Amino acid sequence: MNIHIEALSDGFHCDRQPMAAAVSCRVDIITDIAGLDAIAPAWRALEIRAADPLTYFQSYAWCRTWCAYYVPEKGCLSAPAALAPDIRVCVVWKGDRLVAVWPLMALGSPHTVRRIVSLTEPHSQYGNILVDPEFRASGNYAAAISDCWSKLRQEDRIDTIIFDNVPASAIPVEISQVAAVEQGKDRGPELMPSGASAAFDLTSFDSFEDYRKSLKSSTRRARNKRRNKLAGLGEMHYVVRFAGEAGYADLLRHGIAMKRRWLTETGRATRALNLPNVTEFLAALTNEPNGESGAFAAAVTIDGKPVAVEIGFLWHRRLYSWLGSFDWDLRDYSPGKVQLEEAIGWCIGRGVTHYDLLGDPTTYKSDWSNGTTPLVSWRAAPTLRGRLYLSVWNDRLRPAMKRALAAAPPGLRAKLIPPPGWRRVRSLTGLPRIFCRPGCRVRVGNRHGGR
């Protein structure tokens, strides 16, 4: 397969040959929020045509709302200085028709490692590309991805691209055979397996009772006992609130507060909740009027008080379970597991096809799933600095440090990990310097950090 890249004043053209008739497309790179707004109608129309249940984190509503809180440019509500991403959204046009959106961002400065990652990390859980089905089948999809990478490198000094947690179906196999634009010492592009995400395929169940009958009798008895024990504390209900509805923001706050306490009590950390404005960002998400897609929060309540909360998203009949939390003081009553079963029943009743747990099929998730979504990673490093970053830090030191931290006693982990909600302030070199309580302001050189 030969890929021809022709530089134009308004973008790139990608032609895949041989073909009966060459098909041309144009690649543009959007670098600011105004550019996102300008293509909003075309972006939303592409979402409808694609109807891809694994692309919620590439939707316009998710990406645009995230940028309003985390991209430091005019009009941003309160971007944290420690993140400071630069928007690099690749869009592919075929004539005047938008056929692909690849939401990316650049991190790091010319003095550190300049890397390309998925836009909205660490809050997004899947990397993906929103693509028109006809364009995917046209034979030009792999060429367009190659052109996007070429133009990104032409317009910026990029050391590496790390496109992780990508559903295997999203990247064409041919991309692994596409030679990098710079030959010789260039590393990549490489396409490699990177695990799987646990999911529950609900399509074989006509009702919640069908699902319950599929369980072992011992499992049903254990779950009944657990539910009755929790219900003995008071009047129990399961409630769901969609974005924009009364009570949605309150459930968000309860859920995030419960999760942060669990992290503290167990000596764990998650960068997504350490960044400021998480609650505000999630509260600003939208929901389609028909309730078929968008953000929601669900809870098991006892006498009106949430004791287990799930924050998630519906997208083309797939439910993403983004965050699950429970009242730590009631941990012996297993409210989180009661909530999981309530959620499955709710999904079956609404015609949801998959309940996606967004994580490795390990520990408790294997008990609540019957399948997985294979994931791949697409990486390339055109510079020596990028190759060192991938081979030394990303592939060796970082995983080793995570393993060591996970193996440490909870008490030691709690001392090493900053409390949830604290934020990291970077020095001028781009390296971690100090941690700061939420709401504080710290001067580092000529840079200020604040909420």
Residue of 419, 423, 417 whose CA lies nearest to 404: 417
For residues 9 and 348, what is the distance between their CA atoms, to the nearest angstrom? 51
Tokens of 126: 């899947």
Per-residue pLDDT of the chain (451 residues; tens, 9 = 90+): 333 333 333 443 454 433 333 458 899 999 999 999 999 999 999 999 999 999 999 999 999 999 999 998 655 555 554 468 999 999 999 999 999 999 999 999 878 899 999 999 999 999 999 999 999 998 888 889 889 988 998 888 899 999 999 998 887 766 655 534 333 445 556 778 888 999 999 999 999 999 999 999 999 999 999 999 999 999 999 999 999 999 999 999 999 999 999 998 888 888 899 888 999 999 999 887 666 789 999 999 999 999 999 999 999 999 999 999 999 999 999 999 999 999 999 999 999 999 999 987 766 777 889 999 999 988 888 899 999 999 898 889 888 988 888 788 877 776 676 665 554 444 333 334 334 444 443 333 322 222 2
Max CA pair span of the chain: 71
- The answer to whether the Cα torsion of 423, 428, 433, 437 is positive or negative is negative
What is the structure's pLDDT at 72? 80
Residue of 7, 14, 380, 27 whose CA lies nearest to 180: 380
- Count helices and strands (H / E) in the chain: 14, 19
What is the structure's pLDDT at 222? 95
Q: Does domain 2-195+375-382 have CATH number 1.20.1630?
A: no
DSSP code string of 357-373: --S-S-GGGGGG-SEEE
Tokens of 371: 């399948």
Provide CATH code, domain 204-352: 3.40.630.30
Contact 140, 93 (CB under 8 A): no
What is the structure's pLDDT at 401? 86
What is the structure's pLDDT at 359? 83
DSSP 287: B
Tokens of 91: 């869009």
What is the structure's pLDDT at 45? 96
What is the structure's pLDDT at 427? 35
DSSP code string of 223-269: HHHHHHHHHTTS-EEEEEEETTSTTHHHHHHHHHHHHHHHHHHHT--
Residue of 110, 111, 41, 30 whose CA lies nearest to 73: 30
For residues 331 and 329, what is the distance between their CA atoms, to the nearest angstrom? 6
Tokens of 202: 């609900």
DSSP code string of 28-51: EEE-SHHHHHHTHHHHHHHHHHH-
For residues 327 and 339, what is the distance between their CA atoms, to the nearest angstrom? 12
Q: How far is CA 25 from the centre of its chain?
A: 28
Beta strands in 327-440 (DSSP E): 354-356, 371-381, 423-426, 432-436
What is the structure's pLDDT at 24? 80
- Residue ranges, comma separated, of all CATH 3.40.630.30 domains in the chain are 204-352
Residue of 339, 354, 54 whose CA lies nearest to 202: 354
Q: In which residue are the tokens 């409210």 written?
A: 335
